[in-house]
Amino acid sequence: MNNRDVSGITHCTSSASVTFTKGLTQTELEAHVKTALIRMRHQVPAIAVTTHKLPSHQYEMLYRVPGSLKEAEEWATEVLFFYTGVGSHDEVARSTWWKSRDGKYTHQLHVAPATEQSMLLTYRSWKFSWVSWTKDIDCMLTRTISGCL
């Protein structure tokens, strides 16, 4: 296989469902999750690395320190995806692949209700899927991220 054409096989997806004591709307949950992502980025900067293809068919990994809270919030918005439907772990894993040459951040968080739609659009159970480019993760990073949760 030509490594220039690798399409998604370098990803790792970890999913978990969380049940809260009270129902939350997407808007309520999104605010909390963005705050948590920004704090996690401060503790584990590697979650905000981008990859870029060089003319020599090699790749570089780049981390930029945010210059302001606004820049950190923009990053959180770019890596956080909310869905309205209930999807399986396998569906998330298959539908979120990206090519390493795309210049995207190497980590993304995908969130969806873990139960069918409620009439009030509030949900107690939410599914979180953390998608990572495996060239950017190892046991140390995984352990560090787990310690932040």
pLDDT band of residue 114 (cuts 50, 70, 90) is confident
CB-CB contact of 131 with 12 (8 Å): yes
> What three-state secondary structure class fits 70?
helix
> What three-state secondary structure class fits 149?
coil
Predicted confidence (pLDDT) per residue in 22-73, tens digit: 988 899 999 999 999 999 999 989 899 888 778 887 777 888 999 999 999 9
pTM reported for the whole predicted model? 0.80
How far apart CA 53 and CA 38 sit, in angstroms, is 26
pLDDT at 132: 85
Q: Residue 8 phi/psi, 5° resolution?
A: 90, -10
Select, from the ranges 1-5, 22-26, 65-69, 87-91, the one with the highest average predicted confidence (pLDDT): 65-69
Q: Per-residue pLDDT for 89 more than 60?
A: yes
